[in-house]
Structure formats: structure tokens, C-alpha cells
A = this chain, B = another copy of it.
Amino acid sequence: MQTARTVAQARALFGASPRPLGFVPTMGALHAGHLELVRRARQTCAAVAVSIFVNPLQFGPNEDLAAYPRDESGDRRKLADAGVDTLFVPDAAEMYHPDFTSYVDIGPLGEILEGAVRPHHFRGVATVMAKLLNIVRPDALFLGQKDAQQAAILRKMIFDLNVPVELETVPTVRERDGLAMSSRNGYLDAQRRAQAPTLYRALLATRDALSGGASKPDAIAAGAAVLSPAARLDYLEVVDATTFAPLEPPRSPALIVGAARFGSTRLIDNVAWE
């Protein structure tokens, strides 16, 4: 596995890559969900590139940028074992010059749900992805369904700005008890870890109620009732899978999305209603 730490090194490596080149962008602290993205990329691509970059632009001032888990040596082992060809690990100074002022803003889809709770988060996501795609120039981009709104936003950026890449969204990988794999799960103590799977169960209960003909308020109430009483629900919604517009009355196909705090750890998840 070759490693690039600067944009110039990355351009040299990726410019000489076999094609098609698949790309899996990450913030490190890799888990089975990330490795599933790599596995999917290897199925269809002649080479696979992974980036590890904890992007300051997508963290709010009171969020967990400094605390975000970092484990480059562990990550490197996992990626090498998974057959990754090239790893791009820039530092923040390499990605953002002190005079940096440019942003990619994809509009209203970035301002609802996760975007309402985390102002400027998706502008930071879209901007760093525009940069990474310009540096890596992959043929295919692999993103996890767990971050569904992020994937929808990047799909919209790719469409609106004619970015020359195919986007594939890969199903969420879960623990045995249903908890979606996430680097932030590592923040949970044993008690919170035991409560965390209730977010997924809340989504399933909402879906079951909708499938049974319940109204949206009743279905969401049924879901919320399943969530651990120790958790704080940020939102639970039934949305269009492309625009993330809340659906009222609800109709399938749709996405049921939720976010909740378990102590100071904020987790998100979603399930399809088809």
C-alpha cells in the first residue's frame, strides 16, 4: 500500500493508477463498515484509494473535532489487509491554506435534519469532497448508507456540478444487536452502549407502524416509545430518499431517519421503507 501525505504526492500516485479507480473517503478510526466500502470498491475497480482526513470544516465549534478518534497505525494495518492500493493522509494545513475562503454549498438539502442540528456541517462535507475528488480523480466513489443525508448531498453535488464520478451507496453494516457501525460508538460506556441499539429499534418500530397503516405522528410516537428513556431524541422523520423532504402523508418508498444522544454521544441511523 502506497501512502501520499501531500496533494502533489497524491496527484502523482493517482495519475498513474490503474483504472477504474475506486475511492473510499474516511475520517479514520476504521471499522467493519469502512472495510465493507473497500470490499465493494475492489469488486468493480482495478485499484482502490482510501483517504483518512478528519475534516475541520465539517465540525461545529462545540463538536468533537479534537476528541474524534484517531488511530493511523491501526487503520493502516486494516487497509493493507483489505487490499487497498493507495492511502491519502493529508494534514489540515495541506488541505486548507490560511487564506482558504471557498465553499461548495448545495442548498436547502444541507439545511434540514442533520443540517439543522449542525449548521455548516454539510457545506464542510461538500467542500472537502469537492477537493478530494479533484485530487484523487476517481472513477467511482463509495459511501455508506448510514450517513444517508451526506450521501444524498454528495449525489446532488455530483449531479449539479457535473463531477465526473459514479457514486455507489453501500448498505449499513451493523453490530449483532443492530447498532449501526460508527467510529463514534467508541465514545459509549457500557451502559450507553447497551442503550444505543434502541435507535435502530425505534426506526424499525416506526416502519412497522407505517406499514400497518398508522399515521405519521402515531408511527413516530411508536418509534420514540422504543428508544431508551435515557436517550435524547434529536429527530425521527419519514423523508423522501432523494430530497430528504419530510413526507406528509407518508408514503413508501421513503427513508426513516433518526438521531439521538446517548449521554454526550450523538448517533444517527436510518432504514428504508419500501
A157 adjacent to B11 (CB under 8 Å): no
CB distance from A132 to the nearest CB of B (A): 8
A109 at the B interface (CB under 8 A): yes
**Chain B residues closer than 8 Å to A156, beta-carbon distance:** 101-102
Enumerate A93-136 residues with CB–CB distance to B below 8 Å.
Answer: 97, 100-109, 126-127, 130-131, 134-135
**Chain B residues closer than 8 Å to A161, beta-carbon distance:** 102, 104, 127, 130-131, 134
**Chain B residues closer than 8 Å to A137, beta-carbon distance:** 164
Enumerate A141-170 residues with CB–CB distance to B below 8 Å.
Answer: 156-157, 159-164
A7 at the B interface (CB under 8 A): yes
A101 to B162, CA, bound (A): 13
A109 adjacent to B103 (CB under 8 Å): no
Q: Which of B101, B106, B164 touches A11 (beta carbons < 8 Å)? A: B164
**Chain B residues closer than 8 Å to A104, beta-carbon distance:** 102-105, 130, 161
Q: Which 5 A-B pairs have the closest CB atoms?
A: A101-B107, A102-B160, A134-B162, A102-B106, A131-B162
Give the interface of A toward B (CB within 8 A): 7, 11, 97, 100-109, 126-127, 130-131, 134-135, 137, 156-157, 159-164
Known interface pairs A102-B107, A104-B104, A104-B161; 14 further A-B residue pairs with C-beta atoms within 8 A, sorted by A's residue number: A100-B160, A101-B106, A101-B109, A102-B106, A102-B126, A102-B157, A104-B130, A105-B105, A127-B161, A130-B161, A131-B162, A134-B162, A134-B164, A135-B162
